[in-house]
Structure 1
Amino acid sequence: MMNTKSTKCIARLLLIALFFAFENFFSQYNGAVGINTSSPNSNSVLDIVSGNKNKGILIPRLTENQRNAIVINSATDDGLTVYNTTEDCLNYWSLADNEWKSVCGQIGKSVFTIDCANTKANGTYVEGKTLNTSHYLTVTVNVTKKGNYTITGTTSNGYNFYGTGVFLSTGVQTVQVQGQGTPSVVQSDTVQLFANGVSVSCTPAVTVNVLSAAGTYSISCGSATVNGVYTKGVALGAGNTITLSVTVTALGSYSITTNTVDGISFSGSGTFTSTGNQNVTLSGTGTPTSTADKVMTITSNSADGASTCNVTVVMTIPVKKVLHIGNETVYGYSAFTGPSRSLMDSQTNFGTTASSVVKSGGYTHTSLGASPTSAALLAALNNKPDLVIIGYSYTPTALEASYIANYLNKKGVVIAFQDEASSSQNMMRAIFSDPTISANAGAGAGSVYALTNTNDPILNGPFGDVRGKNWGEDASGTINVTGLTSGFIPFSYAQPINSTTSRTGITGLRHSSLNFIWFGDGGFLSNENANGNQYTSNTIEPFVAPSSGGYFPVEKSTYGYAGNGYAAGSMQVQNSIIFANALAWAIKQAETNGINTP
C-alpha cells in the first residue's frame, strides 16, 4: 500500500522544482502577472516581454464571418478583441456603439471592385519627362463596404500610380490615382492594378502610351471643327471630338489638350510621321454640367512653345415652351400651324443631330388662338412660357399689352408680328413705357423693306446674313411706328424700296434690353403651301421654307409690286431667314436670360 504522506511530499517537491525552473518566465508582483520579466508593470494585469526582442503575441484570428458569429454578451464583452483576417486588422467590440470597431479606422478597410472598362490613364506620357499632377488614373469602382482604400498601379517603365483615401458611401464612384516617376522608354505600358493590395486582372487592360520627345508644330484654332452633340447631363461619347488643323515642321510626338470646362475636356496625342499640313483629332470626355456654351482653351506640347487658342463648344438648348397667339390656319401666322411651324419642328433647323443648325431639344407648343380673353392671356403668361409668338390677327387691348409688357419685364421672350395700328400702338406704349408713341398704317401688300446693315443676331445669325437685304409685306398694310427715341435697334424703316410715296417711322426692331422682336406685318410668316415651297403671288405670302430641304429657310426669289424703278416680282425677301434667326436668338435668351432661367 502506497504511503500517502510520501506521495504528497513528492508532489510538493515537484511543484517547487517547476516554480524554480520557470521563474525566469513567469512572475507576479503587486497583482500583475509577467511573462519573461521578474518585475511586471504594476499598472497592467499582464506584462509580456520578448526575451530576444524577436517575437510578438498572437490573439485569436477569425474571418469577418466568424467574428460576426460570436454571440455577444453586452454585460461582459465590452472590449473583446480579435484579429479580423478578412479586413487584415485588429477589431474590438464596443458596448457604447453596439458594434465591432477597427483599429485601422472607425469604419475599417473598404471592400470594392474596379471597373476596368471605365478606368483610364490621363495626361500625356513622354520619354524622360517626369510625371506631374496632370498624370493620373481615373478609376471607377463599385464600393460594397465603406472604409479605407488603397489603389496602386504599377508599370515596368519607371513610373507608377498610388492613391489612398476613405469611401464614405457605397455604390459606384470615381477616384483619381496620382502618377509618379519618369517614363524610361517609348512603348505601350500595361498598368497592373491593385485594390487594397490584391492584384486586379483587367480585361481590357489599362494601358499607357509613352511618346517620344515633342515635335515642332503649330495649331490653327480658326479652322477647328467641333463634332457631335453636347447636352447637359449626357456623357460625351466617341462622336464628341474636335478636328484641329496643324502644320508640322519637325517630327516627334504631339500632345494637345484642353482645360476642363463645366465637366468636359478634350485631348489627343500621338507621333507625327511626316511634316506639313494635317489634321489631329481631340477626343472628348466627361459630362456637361450646364447648358452654357463652353470656351475650351487648347494647349499643345510643341517644341517651339506654341501659344494657346480657343474653340467654342455649342451646347444643346433644352426643350422650350412656346405660347402662340394668332390664327391657327394653314398660313402659319402664329407659327402654331403651317410651314412656319414645320420650320420650328424640323431637326434640320432645331434638333439634336450632328447636322442640326441650332442644337436644340425642340419645343412644346400651346395656342391661345387669335382672340383670347384678357383673363386667358394673363393665366397663360403667368404659366411662364419661355417664348411667345404673336401673329395675325391678334389685337391686344391696352390692358393685355400691359400683361405682355409685364411678362417681358420678368425676362420673358416675345416675337411679335402685327399689322393693326391701335393694338400695335398699345404694345409699343406699354413695352417702352412711353404714351407718346404712335402707330399708323403704311404701305400695302407686296411692299418691300430694306433691312439695315446692323450686325445683329436677328439679321446675321445661324440661318444666314440678311443685312442690307429685304423683307416683304403680306396681304395687308404695314404698320409704321413713330415717336421711338431710344431703347431699340432698328431693323427696317417705313419707306418701301418699291414706292415713291414718302413714309416715316420704324417697321422692324429689337428692344435693346428686353427680349422683344417686332415687325409691322401680321402675315410676316404667311405661306399656304404645306410643303413650304414658294407661293406664286408677288404680293402675298412672303415666307419660304421648302420641305425638300428639311424646311430650311430660304429667300422668296420673286416678290414685290412694281414701282420706284423695280419691276413686279423682281425683288427678293428674307422673311423666313429672319424668323429662323429670331428663333435661334430667342431660345438662347430664354435659356440664359429668360423668365425660367435659374
Structure 2
Amino acid sequence: MRQPNFKQRLCIGITLKLLLLTAIIWISPTMYAQVTIGGNTPPEKAALLEIKDKKAATYGGETSTTGGLLLPRVILVDRNELFPFFDSALQGNNDYENIQKPAHTGLMVYHIGGNNLAAGAYLWNGEEWKKIEETMGKADLTIVCSNIKVLGSYVEGQSMTSGNYLEIKVTVNKPGSYNIMGTTGNNYIFLATGEFHIAGEYTIIATAQGTPQTAGTDNITLVNFGEEIDPTCKPPVIVASNIADYNLLCSSTVVKGIYKVNQPLNVNTNYLELSIYVNSTGSYSISSNTVDGISFYGTGEFTSIGPQTIKVYGQGIPKSTKTKKITLTTNSIGGTSTNCDVDILIVIPKKRILSLGTSDRALHGNAGSGGTADIFTYSGNFGTLESSTFKIEDPDIIGVTTGSITTSILQNHLQPTNPLDKPVDIVFITYNADLTANDSFAAGKMLAEYVKKGGVVIMYNEHMFNHNSGAPGKFIQELFDDAAAWGVEDVAGGGVLYKLPNYDDMILNGPFGDLRGKYVGEDGCCGDAFTYLPPSEIEWSFSSYDYSGSSSTSGNQSQISGFKAKNYNLVWFGDGGLGSGNGGTSDTSYPVALDASRRPISKLYGRNNSTRKYVENARFVANVLCWAFQQSEFNGINTK
C-alpha cells in the first residue's frame, strides 16, 4: 500500500486540528470554566480561580503559603471615578456613569499613593473606591471650625513632637471610618484615623508629622479620605522663627481673671501676665503643666531686647476648689526654666455663717466703724473680684445680736430638724455673746457636738470661766473630754502685746500676710487664759505674757491666751475685742487698723509708750477667716 507523502500527512493533520478546535468551541458554552494555579488538583466547587500550594521548584522559591497575590499597581485619580482606567473626559457621560461604573463593581487594585488617597488595596463598589480596611464605610461627619484647637509649639526647622496636634470636635451623623489629614504646604501635616461606631459628639486628636520649613501663618486644609470636609474651614497655625534667649521673672507674675469650679477658662480674661527680659530676639513658647483640669500656654515673637510683658493664656475647666500650683516652663535657648511656680486661687462657693455678737466685731456688725465687719464685707478683701485677696462667693450671714447663746438660738442652725436642711458651715462668736448654763450647759454640749462633726468655730471670748457658771469654759471641757481644761479671767489689760508663734499654717502665714513671730494686741481689758489644756489637742498656741514692756501685766508664759485645735476646726482667743477697731489712734484699745480702702494694715500699739510695737490684729483676723472658709470647704461638716 502506498504511504501518503509528507504534504498529504500535513494536510490531514491540519484538518484534524481544525475539526478538534471546532468541537471545543461548539461545546465550550456548556462547560463550567474553572482554573487552578499550582497543585495539579481541581479547584473548589465555587471557585473560578484558585491558587493552590505548589512545591518550590528551587531552594528559596515561593509557594502559596509563603507568597501572595500581587495586585496591579496604579495611581487612582479620584475616589469617586474609575480613572485612570477610563478617560477623564467621560465624566458625566451616560454610558460611563450608568453602565461602566456599576459594571466594574468588584474591581480590585493597589493604589501606590497620591491624590489625597492613602496607599493601599482598594475595591470599587460601583460608586467609589473603598480602601479594603475601611470595613465600616466612610463616616458622615461635620465640624465646627471655631472649636478646633491647635496645640503645641511650631518653630521653623524644629520637628514635630507628641505635643503638636489638633483637637477637632466633630459631630458624627453616620457611623463609619475616618481618615483625616490636615495639610499645610509647609512640610508638615496632621493625621488621624479610626472608626466611629455610634453617631454623636466626639473629639479627634490629629497628630502632627514633619518639620516646618518657613516661619509665618499656615492655613490647614482638612480632608477625610481625600475629600475636603469644609472648604471654608482653614484653622491657622503660627510657625515661629528661631527661638529667642530670654529670662522669666517669676516674682512679677500676675494672675488675671476669676477661676470657678466647672467654669471653662476664657482666654480673654483668664491669663497670666509675665515679666520677661529678652537677651536675643526670636520666638518664644511658654507653657505650664496641667493641674486639676487647667493649664496655661502662650507663643509669640520677641522683636527687641530688654524688659517686656507678655501673656500666657488659660485653658481647661477647674475640677475642684483646691488652689492650683502650676509650674511654668520656657523654651529659651538660654536654658529651660521649670522653677517658676504660680498659685491659681479658685473661688470658694457660697457658705452659711452663724454670727453671734455685737458691734463692729461681729460679721453682721456695723460696717464702717473699722473693725472685723469692715474687713469682711469689703470685696477687695473677700469676694470674687480679680483684686480680692481671698476668693469667695458672698456668704449667707445669719446674724444674731445677743449676749446669751442658748440652744434655741443654735438648734436650727447646728442641728436642723428638717432632714433637707444642712447645718451652717461656720459659727463665729465674739464679744459679748456667751454660752449659757441653761439645761446643764446644753448649748455648749450642742456646740461641741457640732465641732466634732466637722463644724468650724471661731471663738473670741473673754468670759470663759466666771460668767454663766463657766459655761464657755465647759464647752472646751466637753469638746476635749477633759475636766482639767480650765483657766482664769482678767489676766491681761488693754495694750498687752501677745507674741504669735513661729508656725506655718494659713492663720499665721496666710493670704493677708506672714505673721509668724509678730504681735497682736489686747483690746481694752479683761483678757482670759487657760492654765491647762491637753497638749494632744493643741496644734499651736500663744501665751498671755505681755511683750509691751509694761511691768503691770499679770500674764505669763505658762498660760494660753489663744490656740488652734489640733483635731477639730476650732480656734479660740481670750479677748472678745481682738478684732475691734474704730479708725482711731488709741494704743490700748481698738487694735485693728485699716487703710483708706479697708485693707488690713499694722498699728503701733502697746501700754508702754516707749516700747510700743506694731500689731497685726487686722491681718490676723482676716487670716483666721480665710482658714475658716478653707476648712469648711475641704474638711467641714457639709463637705466631709
Shorter chain as denominator, the TM-score bin is: 0.7 to 0.9
Contact kept? 1:445, 1:540, Cα under 8 Å: no
Q: 1:190 to 1:137 in 2, by over 3 A?
A: same
Match of 1:293 in 2: 323
- What letter is aligned with 2:396? T
For residues 392-422 of structure 1, the C-alpha deviation after alignment (integer angstroms, 9 at most, x for no partner) is 2131554433433333333332111112121
- What letter is aligned with 1:235? P
Out of 199, 205, 214, the residue aligned to residue 185 of structure 1 is 214
Match of 1:275 in 2: 305
Match of 2:531 in 1: 482
Contact kept? 2:477, 2:483, Cα under 8 Å: yes
Match of 2:91 in 1: none
Which whole-Å CA distance do the structure 2 matches of 1:310 and 1:403 have between them? 48
Matching of residues 377-456 of structure 1 within 5 Å? 377-382=410-415, 383-391=422-430, 392-397=432-437, 398-420=441-463, 421=465, 422-443=470-491, 446-452=494-500, 454-456=502-504
Q: Does 1:503 align with 2:555?
A: yes
- What letter is aligned with 1:482? T
Which whole-Å CA distance do the structure 2 matches of 1:544 and 1:168 have between them? 66
Match of 2:398 in 1: 366
Structure-1-length-normalised TM-score: 0.76
Q: Does 1:578 align with 2:620?
A: yes
Which whole-Å CA distance do the structure 2 matches of 1:303 and 1:349 have between them? 41
Q: Does 1:516 align with 2:570?
A: yes
Deviation at 1:290, TM superposition (A): 1.9
Match of 2:143 in 1: 114
Match of 1:265 in 2: 295
For residues 354-376 of structure 1, the C-alpha deviation after alignment (integer angstroms, 9 at most, x for no partner) is 11111222312234664454366
- What letter is aligned with 1:597? T
Match of 1:79 in 2: none
Match of 2:77 in 1: none
The percentage of counterpart residues that share the same residue type is 32
Deviation at 1:222, TM superposition (A): 3.1
Contact kept? 2:503, 2:540, Cα under 8 Å: no
Q: 1:446 to 1:114 in 2, by over 3 A?
A: same
Deviation at 1:116, TM superposition (A): 1.1
Unaligned runs of 5+ in 2: 1-22, 36-40, 51-70, 73-84, 86-99, 106-123, 416-421
Match of 2:59 in 1: none
Deviation at 1:582, TM superposition (A): 0.8
Which whole-Å CA distance do the structure 2 matches of 1:459 and 1:150 have between them? 59
Match of 1:66 in 2: none
Match of 2:81 in 1: none
Q: 1:321 to 1:243 in 2, by over 3 A?
A: closer
Contact kept? 1:320, 1:587, Cα under 8 Å: no
Total equivalences in the alignment? 526
Deviation at 1:464, TM superposition (A): 3.6
Deviation at 1:154, TM superposition (A): 0.7
SS at match of 1:426: helix
Contact kept? 2:492, 2:555, Cα under 8 Å: no
Q: Does 1:588 align with 2:630?
A: yes
Match of 1:351 in 2: 383
- What letter is aligned with 1:436? A
Contact kept? 2:495, 2:587, Cα under 8 Å: no
- What letter is aligned with 1:585? W
For residues 126-155 of structure 1, the C-alpha deviation after alignment (integer angstroms, 9 at most, x for no partner) is 222221110000112233344433332111
SS at match of 1:117: helix
Matching of residues 490-569 of structure 1 within 5 Å? 490-493=541-544, 495=546, 497=548, 500-504=552-556, 505-526=559-580, 534=583, 541-543=590-592, 549=597, 551-555=598-602, 563-564=607-608
Match of 1:210 in 2: 239
Contact kept? 2:592, 2:617, Cα under 8 Å: yes
Deviation at 1:538, TM superposition (A): 6.6
- What letter is aligned with 1:394? D
Structure-2-length-normalised TM-score: 0.71
- What letter is aligned with 1:181? G
Contact kept? 2:353, 2:395, Cα under 8 Å: no
- What letter is aligned with 1:308? T
Matching of residues 322-341 of structure 1 within 5 Å? 322-327=352-357, 329=358, 331-339=359-367, 340-341=372-373
For residues 286-310 of structure 1, the C-alpha deviation after alignment (integer angstroms, 9 at most, x for no partner) is 2222222222222222224334113
Match of 1:161 in 2: 190
SS at match of 1:126: coil
Out of 152, 168, 176, the residue aligned to residue 181 of structure 2 is 152
Deviation at 1:508, TM superposition (A): 1.9
SS at match of 2:552: coil
Contact kept? 1:447, 1:496, Cα under 8 Å: no
For residues 81-105 of structure 1, the C-alpha deviation after alignment (integer angstroms, 9 at most, x for no partner) is x9696x9879xxxxxxxxxxx9955
Match of 1:96 in 2: none
Match of 2:13 in 1: none
Q: 1:464 to 1:303 in 2, by over 3 A?
A: closer
For residues 559-584 of structure 1, the C-alpha deviation after alignment (integer angstroms, 9 at most, x for no partner) is 67xx54569xx776543332211111
Which whole-Å CA distance do the structure 2 matches of 1:342 and 1:205 have between them? 54
Contact kept? 1:120, 1:207, Cα under 8 Å: no
Which whole-Å CA distance do the structure 2 matches of 1:410 and 1:435 have between them? 21
Larger displacement relative to structure 2 (221-230 or 447-456): 447-456
Contact kept? 1:472, 1:575, Cα under 8 Å: no
SS at match of 2:146: strand
SS at match of 1:232: coil
For residues 526-572 of structure 1, the C-alpha deviation after alignment (integer angstroms, 9 at most, x for no partner) is 46xxxxx52687765554557x62x4334566x67xx54569xx776
Which whole-Å CA distance do the structure 2 matches of 1:204 and 1:181 have between them? 22
Contact kept? 1:446, 1:472, Cα under 8 Å: yes
Deviation at 1:215, TM superposition (A): 2.7
Contact kept? 2:496, 2:588, Cα under 8 Å: no
Which whole-Å CA distance do the structure 2 matches of 1:105 and 1:292 have between them? 47
SS at match of 2:434: coil
For residues 164-191 of structure 1, the C-alpha deviation after alignment (integer angstroms, 9 at most, x for no partner) is 2334555544322111111122222111
Contact kept? 2:601, 2:619, Cα under 8 Å: yes
Deviation at 1:157, TM superposition (A): 0.6
Match of 2:278 in 1: 248
Match of 1:220 in 2: 249
SS at match of 1:124: coil
Match of 1:94 in 2: none
Which whole-Å CA distance do the structure 1 matches of 2:544 and 2:555 have between them? 9
Q: 1:515 to 1:535 in 2, by over 3 A?
A: same
- What letter is aligned with 2:497? Y
Match of 1:10 in 2: none
For residues 93-126 of structure 1, the C-alpha deviation after alignment (integer angstroms, 9 at most, x for no partner) is xxxxxxxxx99556x5433221111212111112
- What letter is aligned with 1:124? S
Q: 1:185 to 1:555 in 2, by over 3 A?
A: closer
Which whole-Å CA distance do the structure 1 matches of 2:44 and 2:30 have between them? 12
